[in-house]
A and B are shown apart, each in its own frame.
Chain A
C-alpha cells in the first residue's frame, strides 16, 4: 500500500513539473508566435493537466473524508491549494478553451455557440493566474530539508508568499477589468472599441458598414471581420481558412454594438498578457527558490541545526558535541538555550555518565547489516 502511495506521490510530482512547464509554454507560445496546431496541443494538454489535478484533489479529499480528517486536509495540509489549482482552472480556463476549439476553433463566421464561449474565455482569463499556485504544490511535495520543522516552516512561508502574490495579481486584474486599475492594453482596447462604435454608428444592414470597414481597415490592421449580428459577413480581411490556421478563440477582441459585430485581432493584447504571465511565473519561481536556497539554509543554521545537535546530545549518551554559537547571535532564543545546553547540560551529563554505562558507538543496525550481508 505504501509503495502505491509513493508511486502516486512521485507521479503527482512529475505531473506538477509538467504543469509548470506547460504554464510557461502556454504564455511563451503566444509570445513566440507558435503555430496554431502547436498552440492547440497546448490547450488540450492544459485540459488533461487540469483533469488530473481535479482527480487528484477529489482522491485526496475522499481519502481524507474516509479517514475523518477532511478539515485537516483542506485547511491544515493545504488541500485548498489542491482545490484552487484544479477545479476553478478546469471550469474557468481549460474546459472553455477546449470547448471553443471544438466549437470551430478560429472560424468566426456564423458561430453563435463560439461567440458565447469567447465571452466566457475573456471573462475568466484571470483565472489562469491560479496555475501559478502549482509552484507551491511542487515544493510542498519535494523534500529539500532534513528537518520536519524546516520543511513545514518553509512550506508555510512559501505558501503565504506565493498566495499573496497570486491573490494580488488576481485582484489587480479584476480592478483592471473594472477600469479602476487600467492595464497597459487599455489604450489598445479603447481604440478598438472606438473603431467598433464608428462601424456601428450607421446601424446594421446599411451599405455604409462595409464601406466604413474598408476605410477603417486601411489604418487599423487589427480589424478582421464585420457583420450584422448573426448575419452574413459584410467585410473580412482574410478568408475562413486563414482564420482557422492563424487564430485561436482567445486571439480575438469582439464588440457588438447597434446590431453590428466587429472582430479585431487580439493577439497583441494576448502577447502583452503572456509577457505579464511569464514575468509573474518567473517572479514566483524566484521567490520560492529564494526561500528554499537562501532562507532555508539560514533557518537550518539558526533553528534546526542547533535543535538537532541538542536532541542528539540528549538522546545519545556518547554524543557530547556542543552547539556552535555564533558570537553575534548568542542573544537569540535558540542560542541562549544552546548556551545553557553547552554550559550546564553537557557537563552534568559528563558527570552523570561517569557513574553509568556508556552507550556503544555500535548500534544494533550495524550488526544487522553485516549479519544480513553474510
Chain B
C-alpha cells in the first residue's frame, strides 16, 4: 500500500530519500546535490509517473515540478553543507603550517570563522559552489594526507617544487594542512565568474584569467585577515592554468589537481574485477589530459605512481 504524503511534504521527503539512496549516501552534500540535479535533468520522462504515484507533480507543468525539486535539493544540500564547512574549517585546517611560513604568532580567534564565511559565500555563488564541491570533498576525505605523506617521503618532483622552488620547508602534516586551506580558498577564485551554460558543471574547474584574480585578491585578503596573504594567493591561484602561468606555486598546482580529484571521489565505489583502482585510473586519465585541463603533468605522473604503488 503506497502512502501518500501531504502535498507540501512530498517533495522534501522525496529529495531527502534521494539524498539517502545508497548510491549517494557517502558523498558530500554538494556532490549529492550535483548528482540529484543531473538525475532530474536526465530522467524527466521516467521520473514523472513515479513522482505522480507519490503525489508529486501537481504543479501546472513538469518544468515547474523540476524547479521545485531543484530548489528542494539545493535547500537540503545547504542544510547539510553548513556542518561540512564547519568540519572542514574547524577540524581539517589547523594552521600548523604558520611557523613554516615565518609567522610566529598563533592564528587569530576569528580565522576559522573567516574561512567558513568565505565557504558560505562561495556556496551562494553558482560557479564557486561548483568549485566548492571538489574542494570540500578533497578536504573532508583523506586524499590530502595520504598523498602528501608519500610526496614528502619520496622527495621527488613535487616535494622539490614545494621545498626548493616555492621555498617552503615544512613537515608533511604541515604541508597537508596548508594544502587543505588552499583548497578551501580556491572556490573564491570563481566568485567573479559568470555562470556559463556551455561549461555546465565544468565552470568551477576551468582555468580563470590571472588578471581577474589580481583584481579579486585585495578583497579576499581583507576578508581573510587572519590568514597569511601568501596562502590566500596560493589558494586562488589554484584556479589558474599551469601551462598559461609561468611560476605557478607548487601548492596551487597540487590544489588544482586534488580539487578536480575531489570532485569525483566516491568513497563507496565498488571496483569491478579487472578494473584498476579509482585514483590510479583518474590520475592516468588526468595526466593524458594535463595540457587540456591546465594541470602540471609531472606532478600528475608522480601522483599516478603513488596511487599505483599503493593500490589506491
Q: How far is the CB of A246 from chain B (nearest CB, A)?
A: 57
- Is B36 interfacial (CB 8 A cutoff)? yes
Binds A, one of B163-171, B176-184, B233-241, B265-273: B265-273
B 83-119 contacts with A by CB, 8 A: none
A 342-374 contacts with B by CB, 8 A: 342-343, 346-347, 350-351, 354-364, 366-368, 370-371, 374
Encoded as 1 (CB less than 8 Å from any A CB) or 0, chain B from 62 to 80 comes to 0000000000000000000
- Is A321 interfacial (CB 8 A cutoff)? yes
* A358 and B285 contact, CB distance less than 8 A: no
* Residue ID in chain A nearest B288 by CB atoms: A347
Q: Given A324-B274, A347-B285, A367-B18, check contact A357 B23 (CB 8 Å).
A: no
* Residue ID in chain A nearest B274 by CB atoms: A305
- Is B47 interfacial (CB 8 A cutoff)? yes
A 49-72 contacts with B by CB, 8 A: none
- Is A272 interfacial (CB 8 A cutoff)? no
* B272 and A309 contact, CB distance less than 8 A: yes
- Is B305 interfacial (CB 8 A cutoff)? no
Q: Given A320-B285, A322-B281, A360-B42, check contact A367 B47 (CB 8 Å).
A: yes
Q: How far is the CB of B58 from chain A (nearest CB, A)?
A: 16
* B50 and A371 contact, CB distance less than 8 A: yes
Cα–Cα, bound, A342→B286 (Å): 11
Cα–Cα, bound, A366→B275 (Å): 24
Cα–Cα, bound, A320→B250 (Å): 27
Which chain A residues lie closer than 8 Å to B17 at the CB level?
370
* A355 and B202 contact, CB distance less than 8 A: yes
* B201 and A358 contact, CB distance less than 8 A: yes
* B24 and A346 contact, CB distance less than 8 A: no
* A323 and B202 contact, CB distance less than 8 A: no
* B281 and A321 contact, CB distance less than 8 A: yes
* A357 and B41 contact, CB distance less than 8 A: yes
- Is B2 interfacial (CB 8 A cutoff)? yes
Cα–Cα, bound, A371→B23 (Å): 15
What DSSP secondary structure best describes chain A's contact surface?
Answer: helix
Encoded as 1 (CB less than 8 Å from any B CB) or 0, chain A from 215 to 236 comes to 0000000000000000000000
* A321 and B275 contact, CB distance less than 8 A: yes
* A322 and B41 contact, CB distance less than 8 A: no
* B38 and A308 contact, CB distance less than 8 A: no
Q: Given A320-B264, A351-B289, A371-B50, check contact A308 B272 (CB 8 Å).
A: yes
Which chain A residues lie closer than 8 Å to B278 at the CB level?
321
Which chain A residues lie closer than 8 Å to B194 at the CB level?
none
Q: Given A312-B272, A346-B285, A367-B50, check contact A362 B24 (CB 8 Å).
A: yes
Cα–Cα, bound, A306→B276 (Å): 10
Q: How far is the CB of B75 from chain A (nearest CB, A)?
A: 18
Q: Given A347-B289, A351-B292, A364-B47, check contact A308 B284 (CB 8 Å).
A: no
- Is A300 interfacial (CB 8 A cutoff)? yes
Cα–Cα, bound, A214→B41 (Å): 99
Q: How far is the CB of A319 from chain B (nearest CB, A)?
A: 9
Q: How far is the CB of A328 from chain B (nearest CB, A)?
A: 16
- Is A301 interfacial (CB 8 A cutoff)? yes
Encoded as 1 (CB less than 8 Å from any A CB) or 0, chain B from 8 to 45 comes to 00000000011001111001000000011011011100
Cα–Cα, bound, A360→B264 (Å): 12
Which chain A residues lie closer than 8 Å to B53 at the CB level?
371
Cα–Cα, bound, A29→B229 (Å): 91
- Is B215 interfacial (CB 8 A cutoff)? no
Residue from A306, A320, A370 within 8 A of B281 (CB atoms): A320
7 interchain pairs, CB-CB under 8 A: A312-B272, A321-B278, A324-B275, A350-B286, A355-B199, A368-B50, A370-B17
| Interface residues of B, Cβ cutoff 8 Å to A | 2-3, 17-18, 21-24, 27, 35-36, 38-39, 41-43, 46-47, 50, 53-54, 198-202, 264, 266, 271-278, 280-282, 284-286, 288-289, 292
Q: List the 6 closest A-B pairs by CB distance, nearest first.
A: A305-B274, A360-B39, A347-B288, A360-B38, A321-B275, A322-B281
Given contacts A309-B272, A323-B275, 8 further A-B pairs with CB under 8 A are A300-B273, A305-B274, A308-B274, A320-B282, A321-B277, A351-B292, A362-B39, A363-B23
